[in-house]
Amino acid sequence: FLLGPSPAAQSLREAYVFHVVPMVNVDGVVHGNSRCTLAGVDPNRVWHDPNPIIHPVVYALKNHLRSVAQGSACKGIELFLDFHGHSAKFGCFFYGSNPTAPISNAVFPKLCAVASRDIAFDQCHWRCPRSHRKTARYVVYKQLGVKYSYTMECSLFAPVGFNPPSSSSTVTADVSGGGGSGAG
């Protein structure tokens, strides 16, 4: 969408600078790990103090974000989104960073839910337990001062409301390869 010719995309590109990082856990994913790097570390749990040797991608990305947030060439970071696949819940939803944040922190997730039936606003929440205080969204919020910092989680399995067939269901399919008489 952002690279497309629509007037909305063009307006966004004129108003904002987008920094897109397609993947933080490249080495782990290449070898089949969805969560941990080859060093056995979850990169989303080291944002508070990444080691340049053990967590080089997080270290470099955090330094880049810090320079953008403190830079004089732009207004800083308006919005931070960290995208994840969720292995237990269905659908897509947002996690915020501050349970006492003003209602304005719910506006972006709500607009996304209005724009797409794939986003389940009722599954969004803003609490951030102690175990999540080393994550990208919380560290970017707390250390870099980005008010609108979220993790967007999308199910690895199905959308909200998905009802898998029961084990007693029978699925039939026409495997004959055509709709003709079968003579040929």
Residue 14 annotated as catalytic: no
How far is the CA of 90 from the CAs of 11, 37, 108, 109, 115, in angstroms?
33, 25, 20, 16, 18
DSSP 119: B
Dig out the tokens for 92 from the structure. 């897509």
What is the rounded CA–CA span in Å between residue 81 and residue 100?
19
Under 8 Å between Cβ of 179 and 134: no
Under 8 Å between Cβ of 139 and 48: yes
Dig out the tokens for 159 from the structure. 């959308």
**Candidates 19, 153, 166, 180; catalytic one:** 153
Dig out the tokens for 103 from the structure. 């209602």
Active-site residue set? 153
